[in-house]
């Protein structure tokens, strides 16, 4: 698996758009924190975090292949996010029960409901993560135990 922390390429934006139901194709992601995992030409996972405020990033992820949640990669991602953010938020379509459950298994905490908060049309369940909630900040050598305890892979959140 090859990982890039560069701006998303068109095929990665397409995967993110297809799996979340939100059109990311034309969005300028110049200030976003992005990560793409590939095997050859195949996109295995896409992460795009938008800085909404000086202290809050909005988390968007699409994982066609669950192996993208490798502990060392997730440790690096959340360490980078929490180096500047006080919180990470995810707005998820409440009808996407799988994504809501997966967000919680990633360490996000359900915080509430936002009418038309997803894309101006669909409602959003709001999930948040603070550094103290984030088990991914634990050194990767301890992640084998975390995986055994039931962190499930294969999340497709629909976030704004």
Task: Tell me the per-residue pLDDT of 8-44, one tens digit each, with 9 for 90 and over.
Answer: 999 999 999 999 888 999 899 999 999 999 999 999 9
Mean pLDDT computed over 140-149: 60
Dist CA 68 CA 16 (whole Å):
14
Of 3.40.30.10, 3.40.630.30, 3.40.640.10, 3.10.129.10, the CATH number of 2-148 is 3.40.630.30
For position 153, what pLDDT does the model report?
37
- Judged against a pLDDT cut of 80, whether residue 104 lies above it is answered with yes
Contact by Cβ (8 Å): 78, 84: no
Non-local CB neighbours of 82 within 8 Å, separated by 6+ positions:
88, 131, 134, 137
């Amino acid at each position: 698996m090859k990982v890039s922390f560069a701006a998303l390429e068109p095929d990665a934006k397409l995967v993110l758009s297809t799996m979340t139901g939100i059109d990311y194709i034309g969005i300028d992601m110049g200030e976003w924190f992005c990560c793409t995992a590939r095997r050859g030409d195949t996109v295995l996972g896409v992460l795009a975090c938008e800085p909404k405020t000086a202290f809050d990033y909005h988390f968007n992820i699409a994982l066609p292949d669950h192996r993208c949640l490798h502990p060392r990669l997730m440790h690096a991602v959340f360490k980078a996010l929490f180096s500047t953010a006080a919180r990470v938020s995810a707005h998820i379509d409440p009808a996407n029960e799988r994504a809501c459950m997966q967000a919680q298994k990633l360490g996000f905490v359900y915080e509430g409901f936002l009418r038309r908060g997803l894309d101006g049309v669909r409602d959003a369940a709001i999930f948040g993560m603070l550094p103290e909630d984030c088990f991914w900040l634990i050194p990767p050598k301890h992640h084998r135990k975390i995986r055994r305890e039931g962190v499930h892979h294969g999340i497709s959140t629909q976030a704004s």
